[in-house]
Structure formats: structure tokens, C-alpha cells
Amino acid sequence: MKLISIIVPAFNEEANIASMYKTLVQELEPLPYLYEIMFINDGSSDGTLDEILKLANEHETVKYISLSRNFGKESAMFAGMKRIKGDAAILMDSDMQHPPTLICEMIQGYEDGFHQVVAKRSRKGDSKLRSAFSSLYYKIVNSVTDVSFEDGEGDFRLLSRKAINSILSLSESNRFSKGIYSWIGLSKKTISYENVVRAEGDSKWSFASLVNYGIDGIISFNMKPLRICFYTGFLVLFLSLLYIAFTFYQIMVRGVIAPGYFTTITAILLLGGIQLISLGVIGEYVGRIYNETKQRPHFLVDMSNVDEYDES
């Protein structure tokens, strides 16, 4: 029988752990699969760990990792993926916002051969402002990055063993999962669900952390922001050359007396343009160094009928 692993990161979720476990078991028990439920305590300061330990003592199917401090959800999920043994894994939040009733459909998608089965949520219940911000953000991000992010598609998804191994092969420490899921490719199926409000406790997202997350999304997957320097530099240089040419024409041909600030403005604009271009050039190198340090694999294979060439 195949083993399905459920990965549940938890940060200060003491009120949710027990009910989460109960609903998960209700869904998993009737299915013809073995299962393990991997809780990751992400440095909670409340009774989350006690709740997890209680479950782990009572049930063999409950596994746990407790991190030494709060490392953030991305790291918690990564830790979980490293330790699970399943043929497929489902990533879920511990606040019941990811309906366990979808598990069955996700596994069906996996059996149909998909490597990623993504649950896409509607924006029901979100404030209008937040929805508007989100859709604007996704438009911007998708136009400037090399990977594609879909609004409403988050971490709630099933990943095949192959997809998990691919994700684990990206060992960069600044992890932006949404980009990584897209970067690894592989076949993907999307199912939709209505947004659910949180069961207990509060969301860990503040406006500031959302903005930071947004910036991570843009920076982690492309170097285009650096290139903006380069292009602005060229634009400034071009405009200043035009200005100089125009003023020279006025002086030489039309005999207009040059204003006193002409030399100052010219010097500032010319130098400004050149400096921006130089920054852009440095940026290109920095960007390349940044990419190299991530040491991502050069490619991931989906299917092939030849093995890698091996000298030995």
C-alpha cells in the first residue's frame, strides 16, 4: 500500500492541533492508503508542542519535528519534506483553512499521474482592498519574473515523491515556495475550493510581513529589478545628450546666450546617466553571483529512456 504523508507546520496553534488531527483521520482512515501525519512545531511559545506530543504518544501515525525556534513557515515545510517517507505528501495549514475534505480528490489526481495537485482558493471573505492588491501584485510579478504565480494558489497541494525530491534539490536558504513549485515544473492539476475563515487563533501575517513576502517573490526569481538601473541610466544619458545638443544648437546657430546653469545641469545629467549604467553593470554581476550561490540544479528530468553518462 502506498504511504501518504500529511505535512502540517504549526506556529502557536494549540487550539487547532487536536481538531486538525481528528478531521484528518476522519478523511484518511476510509482511504486504501497508509498515512503519516507530520506536525512541525515552528518554535511555538504556547502549548502547541504539548498537544503534538500527546497525539504522538497515542498514535503511531503521528510524527513530529520541533524546531529550536521560529524559523517561518517556509523552513518548517522544508523540514517536514526532508523527514517524510510518503510516496506523496500533502501540505496543509494547521488552522483548518485548508479543508481536509479535498484530500480524497487530491489523491485521485495523484493516481491519475499528476505530480502536483494544487488546491486553489477563491478570495471570498478577503477584504476588497486586499483582493485588489493581490491581483495587482500577481499581474506585476508575472510580468517581471521568469516563473508564474497564480493568485489563490498557495502551499495547499499534493506533491508526488518526484516533486518532493525536486523541491529538496533546491537547497537555497531564502526559500520562496510559490516560485519553487512553479520552477520545478512537472505535470500539475488544479482543483478549486471556497475560502474558509480561520478556526482558532490569529493569522501570523501582518501587513508588513505581506509586503516583505511580496518583495521576496519578485527578488528570488529574477534579476530584472537590477536591470532597471541599466535602462534608466541609458534613458538619462540619452535625454541629457539631447539637451546638450539642443542647447549647443541654440548657442551656435541662433546665437542665444547660454544660461549659467547649463554647465551644471549637463554635468549632473551626464554623470548621473553614466553612474546609473555602471550600477546596472555591477548589478548584472551581483545578480549572476546571487544565482550561482543558490546552486540550483541546471535541469530536472521528467522522463527519459537513457541514464546519465557515467565514466566509472
Applying CB under 5 A, the residues found at the interface with Mg ion are 93, 95, 97
Q: Which entry of Mg ion, ligand UDP, none binds 246, CB below 5 to 8 A by partner kind?
A: none
153 binds ligand UDP (CB under 6 A): no
11 binds ligand UDP (CB under 6 A): yes
Nearer to ligand UDP, 92 or 236 (CB): 92
- The count of chain residues that interact with ligand UDP, using the rule CB under 6 A, is 16
Q: What is the DSSP string of the chain?
A: --EEEEEEEESS-HHHHHHHHHHHHHHHTTSSSEEEEEEEE-S-SSTHHHHHHHHHHH-TTEEEEE-SS---HHHHHHHHHHH---SEEEE--SSS-S-GGGHHHHHHHHHTT-SEEEEEEP-TTS-HHHHHHHHHHHHHHHHHSSS---TTEEEEEEEEHHHHHHHHT---SS--HHHHHHHT---EEEEEE-----SSS--S--HHHHHHHHHHHHHHT--HHHHHHHHHHHHHHHHHHHHHHHHHHHHHTT-PPPPTTHHHHHHHHHHHHHHHHHHHHHHHHHHHHHHHHTT--S---S--SSPPP---
Write the CB contacts of 270 (distance below 8 Å, at least 6 apart in sequence): 237, 240, 241, 244
Segment interacting with ligand UDP (CB under 6 A) among 80-88, 201-209, 227-235, 269-277: 201-209
**Binding residues for ligand UDP restricted to 283-302, rule: CB under 6 A:** none
Nearer to Mg ion, 11 or 110 (CB): 11
Nearer to Mg ion, 42 or 93 (CB): 93
214 binds ligand UDP (CB under 6 A): no
Residues 36, 42, 51, 153: which binds ligand UDP (CB under 6 A)? 42
Nearer to ligand UDP, 165 or 203 (CB): 203
Segment interacting with ligand UDP (CB under 6 A) among 54-62, 70-78, 111-119, 236-244: 70-78
**Binding residues for ligand UDP restricted to 91-110, rule: CB under 6 A:** 93-95, 97
Nearer to ligand UDP, 70 or 250 (CB): 70
203 binds ligand UDP (CB under 6 A): yes
Q: Which entry of Mg ion, ligand UDP, none binds 14, CB below 5 to 8 A by partner kind?
A: none
Positions in the binding site for ligand UDP (CB under 6 A): 9-11, 13, 42, 70, 72-73, 76, 93-95, 97, 203-205
